[in-house]
A and B are shown apart, each in its own frame.
Chain A
Amino acid sequence: MNESSRFHSSDEVAWCPGCGNHALLSILKQALEELEKKPHEVLICSGIGQAAKTPHYVNANGFNGLHGRAIPPAFGAKVANKDLTVIINSGDGDSYGEGGNHLIHNMRRNLDITHFVHDNMIYGLTKGQASPTTRTGHTTGIQTEGVVLNPLNPLALAITMGATFVARGFVGEKEQLVELMKQAITHKGYALLDIFQPCVIFNKINTFQWYKEHTFRLPESYDPTDRATALQMAFEWDNGIPLGVLFKEDRATYTESIEVLREGPPLVDRELKPDRVVPFLDDYK
């Protein structure tokens, strides 16, 4: 791993050898380097899970919160300081399962934050239960007869819920993934990047090899601004899973839509005195 990176953290990485998270982490640092970000300008938020340990492994501001609640603190922090580059790194269970409601509504908000979902299609930290993206028929210690729930399609969900940047990457496609991360971070608005990240211990079906064989890169000619095509692409699976930016849209961000945030310095820089309340007392006189 790149120890000379200014984003290098001295904390010991607790992931299993061979886990896809290692590559993801180094690609994330590379993307931040290439964007010339500085550690104090970046905030990494997460919930709980293997993926959610990421804030510890990046030398940047970090908020490692509760399982399923990665997005709300990220939202609060960005509202407080619109100058921060806020990135969420969390798992598929955390983001799509326990935190599903926040996912939906923050896509609608379109705050300028970036969401990297480490999608290993399994619950890693809790030892191998089905996640919302685990495919039907996949057997686990709980789903002994195979998953019967229809898998959640995060990209289709995002496209229909108002996410303004929807993409998928794979840790095995390093160069593409660096670019996708950079695009997601620089995108104005809520950006969802679902990243295939093999869990070598608990997902014996969707292995590195499996992802290699089942994914393909979207061609250069692909137009990500067409919602209908994007939706169609989001449903591609059996005949190959597309990697790349599926959908992109220009829409006012939350910050741009809320006058209090749009105008003036970040909230955190505003000087406030108790007498700001005085004009409002008149309403009660």
Chain B
Amino acid sequence: MDYNVLIGGSAGQGMDTLASLFQRSLHRHGYHVFVHKDYMSRVRGGHNFIQIRFSDVPLVSHRDQLDLVVALDETTVKEHLPRLQENGFLLADEEIKNQSDQMISFPINKSAKEAGNAKTYTSVFLGLLLKWYGLPFEQTEAFLLETFHDKSPEANVKAFQAGAALTKGKVELPSGPLSDHLLIDGNQAIALGAIAAGVTFYSAYPMTPSTSIMNTLAAHQVEAGIVVEQAEDELAAINMAIGANYAGIRAMTGTSGGGFSLMTEALGLAGITETPLVVANVQRPGPATGFPTRTEQSDLSFILTASHGEIPRIVISLRNPEESFYQTARAFNLSEKYQVPVILLSDQYLADYTVTVPVFDVSRITIDRHLSDDSSYSEEHPYQRYALTDNGLSPRLVPGKFPGQVVLADSDEHDEDGHITESAEVRINMMKKRMGKLEMIKDEMQEPWHIGDAHPDILIVAWGSIAGPLEEAINRLREEDETRSLGALVFGDLWPLPTNQLTSLAEKAKIIVNIEQNFTGQLAKLIRQETGLHCSKNILKYDGRQMTPEFIVELLKQEVL
């Protein structure tokens, strides 16, 4: 089984609450759920929709084709009626003109008024939906009472029951196979990963679609012991986090492209001062303000060299919420081990889609601080923040903890003590020390996920959140025709780029196809730069909407199959 329900309306109509109650009910009844949001940058009006896909097998993507549409307004009918499967239906209030035999009209608003509050129409729809799919009511009624505890809870339950009475059960679902799963989105997973990693300070400036990282941390700040500071701007946010890391805690900042642009000078500061730092960039289409609430993967090229001058850095893209949790925790360890900034690259699609995942296994996470506790420094042999060592890593002392020893960090080129220098020789040594760390880091980088054929003729390359839709597309194509030799490498770690698997698969592949959500094919450029390999086809999308499996299937058929 695999159903896809769309709820559409304008901002402020209560669609979020309806969707949230429905998806939580499905989750509680043990189904795999994948919820994708499409919303506009406004608080009232416009056209927004949420797609709730559910199944008894794991889901990794949203999809195009719809089984059911709940239309809270006329626009939803116009926009989404054409997307219904042949046996699909659209449900709407009787006041909206019925324009198709796939459309069913119900006295929604009337039922809400009869329940005692006209605003309870979303609860009427909820009852209707639950009954449609033959789901039990008790759990959902409890959710309703909790959600509306201060807004006519009884009227909402009444409305819910009235909604359920409007229809017969239409679909019989197999029982849900899951127990004990989380229903979580990418940004929440980043925040939880940071908590597991021991973050105690998060400084950021609100910017969609990154803000919910800050919201999630803030919700737990007192209990977890985290200071969440809304900075005056992104310059402050990143510089605060750097100062906090310098002083010995784990601090993090997060933003979207515009804010990241403002942070670039300080990214270099982290690089030259060798201060650990984790920055999340949750991408949206740029440049400038771009599409605030939509998705794109267009910051990769920028991130790889962001900051003037040359610094070592690690770039990890996140491929789904589950790995967002573990990779965030890993980012802190890498950042402290090598004393370099680590950039986590997510995007609006991943930030905002919600999916059922196995409960995070905290035993897989370690907190490796790599701090020095060497107390043998003396007046004759004082601590040197930038001591030259065989591997370029200088011991890191926490300032204030070692009487007689001080820690001096400097944004100018500096000598081993951290003092400003203009010596050519010192400059060369310090550049080699810093940039040399990349060689060690290379050995830590994780090879891309390999999907599909073990040695494909058609080799697809991609990165980040496309992983889900691409996996589903490849599975569909291979199921359709088993003779298709099709496989993909989906990169998570992007810098330094792990190339072993790529070069080995490329030897046998007849064609390499690059798939990305941007205009210029930034991964293809990176691959070419690092390996000399040429992607002869690019499938690119830059309209702010995430590729669906159907889209990828269609394009691969058109372009390569």
Contact = CB atoms under 8 A, between A and B. Distances in A.
Interface stretch (B14-22, B141-149, B233-241, B294-302): B233-241
B419 A11 contact: yes
B180 interface: yes
B31 to A, nearest CB: 14
Interface string A90-124: 00000000000110110000000000000000000
Given A39-B404, A72-B243, A276 B248 contact: no
A28 to B, nearest CB: 15
A213 B402 CA distance: 46
A25 B212 CA distance: 45
B399 A40 contact: yes
A162 interface: no
Contact of A76 (B226, B246, B405, B418): B246
A101 B237 CA distance: 12
B198 A260 contact: no
A111 B316 CA distance: 34
Contacts of B400: 40-41, 43, 61, 81, 83-84, 268
B242 to A, nearest CB: 6
A212 B180 CA distance: 75
A138 interface: no
Given A66-B266, A84-B400, A274 B196 contact: yes
- Dominant SS at the A interface? helix
A102 B249 CA distance: 22
Interface in A222-270: 258-261, 264, 267-268, 270
Given A276-B224, A284-B182, A43 B399 contact: yes
A63 B409 contact: yes
Contacts of B184: 284
A254 to B, nearest CB: 9
Q: How large is the interface on A (under 10, 10 to 19, 20 to 34, 35 or more residues)?
A: 35 or more
B140 to A, nearest CB: 16
Contacts of B359: 281, 285
B535 interface: no
Contacts of B250: 272
B444 interface: no
B287 interface: no
B412 interface: yes
B239 A65 contact: yes
B265 A66 contact: yes
Given A260-B226, A274-B365, A281 B360 contact: yes
Contacts of A277: 192, 195-196, 224, 360, 362
Interface in B169-225: 180-184, 188, 192, 195-198, 200-201, 203, 220-225
A56 interface: yes
B509 interface: no
B405 A77 contact: no
A40 B404 contact: yes
A184 to B, nearest CB: 20
A76 B247 contact: yes
Given A66-B266, A280-B224, A39 B232 contact: no
A76 B242 contact: yes
A63 B248 CA distance: 13
14 contacts: A40-B405, A56-B420, A65-B273, A72-B235, A76-B240, A76-B241, A79-B229, A80-B201, A80-B251, A268-B249, A277-B195, A277-B362, A280-B220, A280-B224
User: What are the 10 A-B residue pairs with the smallest beta carbon separation, nearest first?
Assistant: A73-B243, A76-B243, A72-B239, A76-B244, A80-B247, A272-B198, A77-B247, A105-B232, A76-B240, A61-B399
Given A40-B403, A277-B360, 15 more contacts: A40-B399, A55-B410, A65-B242, A72-B237, A73-B240, A75-B243, A76-B240, A76-B242, A79-B227, A101-B236, A260-B221, A273-B367, A278-B362, A279-B223, A280-B195
